[in-house]
Copies of this chain bind each other. A is one copy, B any other.
Amino acid sequence: MILKKIKSKGLAHLSYFIGSGSYAAVVDPRRDVEVYIDIAREEGMTIEHVFETHRNEDYIIGSRELQERTGCEVHHHEQTEWGYGSDVAEGDSFDLGQLRLDILHTPGHTFDSISVAVYDTDFSKEDAVGVFTGDALFIGDVGRTDFFPDQREHVAGLLYDSLFDKILPLGDQTILYPAHGAGSACGDNMAARAFSTLGYERRHNSMLQKTDRDEFVQHKASEFHHMPMYFERMHAANQEGPELLHDAVGELPRPMKAPEVEQFRQDGGLVLDIRGAEAFGGAHIPGSLNITLPMLSSYIGYQVGFDVPIAPVTYNLAQFEEAWTQLQRIDYLKVEGWLEGGMEEWAINALPFATIPQIFVEEINRRYDEDEEFLLLDVRKRGEAEKGMLQGAQHIFVGELADKLDEVRDTRPIVTFCGTGYRASNAASILLRNGFDRVENFLGSMKACKQAQCPLE
C-alpha cells in the first residue's frame, strides 16, 4: 500500500497516486500524466480509477489523458453534467486491493466537490487512515467560496457543513491530502508545512476555529480573491472533458531565429519574456511581456488570451521546456516557437532592444527624503496592499492593469512595485507595451522596504 504525492510547480497543485497490491488510483491527475504511468510501472500496479475531487478551474485535468493511455475509469460527482467519465455520489465505495475508498459529497468550493476517505480494511473498516479533500480543506486554510458571487453565503454555508459534518468527523487520526499546497492561488493562508492530519487542523487551522456557522459564513462571504479570466475556460474545459494533448499539440515548439521572432512580432504574435526582472530590464525585445517563470502559471491567466500566438524569450532551452510544460497544463497551447540564442542572438542581428532601469531601495528612500516627484505604482493583490502600502502609492493589481491603464496617475516617472520586484517588472512591461514612458522597476520592492524602512502610509 503506497501513497505518493506528486507536486506540480507553478500552481502548487498536488495530485496523488494510491495503490494496494496490483491496483492503483490517481486523484486529480495533471495533464502530463507520464509521472503516474511511471509510478505504476515501477510498482507493478495497474491504474484502475481516477477521482476528480471537483471541476477544476485552475488547470486542465489529466483524467481523459490517463484514461486514453491506461484504460482506467474516471469518476466525478453526479451534481454536474460531465462530457466524459462516470458519476459517483455520497456513499459510493471502491475497493483497491485491501484499501477501501469512500466518496463523501463535500460541496462549498464548488457544488460538485467530493472528498475521498481511505480505509485499510485489514485493520479497520470504520476508521479512516487518510482523506483526499480536494479544494475543500487545505493545510492551514479552507477552499475559496467566491465562484458563485450571487450565492456567496449559501456556498460558504455548504463548505462549513462539509468541513464540520463530513470531513472532521472522520477523526483526528486521519491524514490530510489536499489538492494544493503553499503558493497556490486557491487559498492565501496555506501553511508552508506539507503534511498534516485532521486532528492537527481541527486544532490549528484558523478557519476551523470558527465553529460558529454564522461567523464562518460571514468570514468567507467577505473574503476577496482575484479571479484570472482563464478560470472560466478551465472550468468549462474540465466539465466537457479537455482535449487530449496529442490531439491538441505536437512536439516541443521549434527554435526561432531572431529575424523570425521579429516577423512573428510584426504579425501580431506575443513575445513572452520569462526571464528575471533584472535581465528583462537589461535588454528586452520592444513590446514583449515579462512574466518571470516562477509566476507564469499563476499570472498569465489574467493577461493573455488563449488564442494569442506566443513566442517565449528565455535564458536557455531548459527554461523554455519548463515554461512549455506549465503552459500546457493550463491550456496555453499556441506556443509557436522560442527565441534560440536569447537576447545575445537578438542583439547581434542588429535588432533594436529596450531597457527598464532597475531601482534600488535606497534610491527610493532618497526620493522620498528629497521629495522628488514620482509615481509608485503598487501592483500587488488587493489583500497584500491592504496590509500596508508605501506613502503616496497608487494601487492597481497587475492582473487588472491592462484594463485600467486610464486610471494610472499622470505623475512621472512611474516606479512599479510589488513584493520582490518580479510582478512589478510584469507591470512595467505592460506599461511599456501600452506606450507609457519613463517606467522604472523597483527591484526588491516590499521585502527590501521592510529592511530599509521605507515610509509606509
A residues with CB within 8 A of B: 1-3, 20, 22, 37, 41-42, 44, 46, 69-70, 98, 120, 122-124, 127, 129-130, 140, 171-175, 191-200, 202-204, 246, 250-252, 254-255, 257, 275-284, 315, 317-319, 340-344, 347-350, 352-353, 355, 357-358, 360-362, 420-422, 443-445, 447-449, 451-452
Distance to closest chain B CB from A115 (angstroms): 17
Copies of this chain, complex-wide, total: 4
Q: Provided the pairs A173-B203, A254-B46 are in contact, do residues A276 and B347 lie with their beta carbons within 8 angstroms?
A: no
Give A443 to B343 CA distance when docked, in angstroms. Answer: 9
Q: Is the Cβ of B276 less than 8 Å from the Cβ of A192? A: no
Distance to closest chain B CB from A390 (angstroms): 14
Give A444 to B283 CA distance when docked, in angstroms. Answer: 11
Q: Point out the residues of chain B lying under 8 angstroms from A175, CB to CB.
A: 175, 195-197
10 smallest beta-carbon distances between A and B, as pairs: A173-B199, A282-B282, A347-B444, A279-B279, A348-B447, A278-B282, A278-B283, A350-B451, A281-B282, A1-B193
Q: Point out the residues of chain B lying under 8 angstroms from A193, CB to CB.
A: 1, 120, 122-123, 129
Q: Provided the pairs A257-B22, A282-B281 are in contact, do residues A448 and B250 lie with their beta carbons within 8 angstroms?
A: no
Q: Is the Cβ of A315 less than 8 Å from the Cβ of B192? A: no
Which one of B3, B194, B203, B280 contacts A194 once the chains associate, using CB atoms below 8 Å?
Answer: B3
Selected A-B contacts with CB under 8 Å, 22 pairs: A22-B255, A44-B255, A44-B341, A69-B251, A123-B140, A124-B203, A127-B203, A171-B172, A172-B199, A173-B197, A173-B200, A174-B197, A197-B199, A276-B279, A277-B282, A277-B283, A278-B279, A282-B355, A347-B444, A348-B448, A349-B448, A353-B358
Give A251 to B40 CA distance when docked, in angstroms. Answer: 12
Distance to closest chain B CB from A399 (angstroms): 20
Q: Point out the residues of chain B lying under 8 angstroms from A37, CB to CB.
A: 251-252
Give A343 to B22 CA distance when docked, in angstroms. Answer: 17
Q: Point out the residues of chain B lying under 8 angstroms from A250, CB to CB.
A: 69
Q: Is the Cβ of B98 less than 8 Å from the Cβ of A192? A: yes
Which one of B70, B129, B343, B355 contacts A357 once the chains associate, using CB atoms below 8 Å?
Answer: B355
Distance to closest chain B CB from A398 (angstroms): 16
Q: Point out the residues of chain B lying under 8 angstroms from A46, CB to CB.
A: 254-255
Q: Provided the pairs A22-B257, A191-B120, A194-B3 are in contact, do residues A355 and B353 lie with their beta carbons within 8 angstroms?
A: no
Q: Point out the residues of chain B lying under 8 angstroms from A192, CB to CB.
A: 1, 20, 98, 122
Distance to closest chain B CB from A278 (angstroms): 4
Q: Is the Cβ of B204 less than 8 Å from the Cβ of A123? A: yes
Give A350 to B317 CA distance when docked, in angstroms. Answer: 31
Which one of B352, B443, B445 contacts A360 once the chains associate, using CB atoms below 8 Å?
Answer: B352
Q: Is the Cβ of A444 less than 8 Å from the Cβ of B348? A: yes
Q: Is the Cβ of B173 less than 8 Å from the Cβ of A448? A: no
Which one of B204, B344, B357, B447 contacts A422 once the chains associate, using CB atoms below 8 Å?
Answer: B344
Name, among A98, A444, A449, the residue most crowded by chain B CB atoms within 10 Å (CB to CB): A444
Give A171 to B448 CA distance when docked, in angstroms. Answer: 41
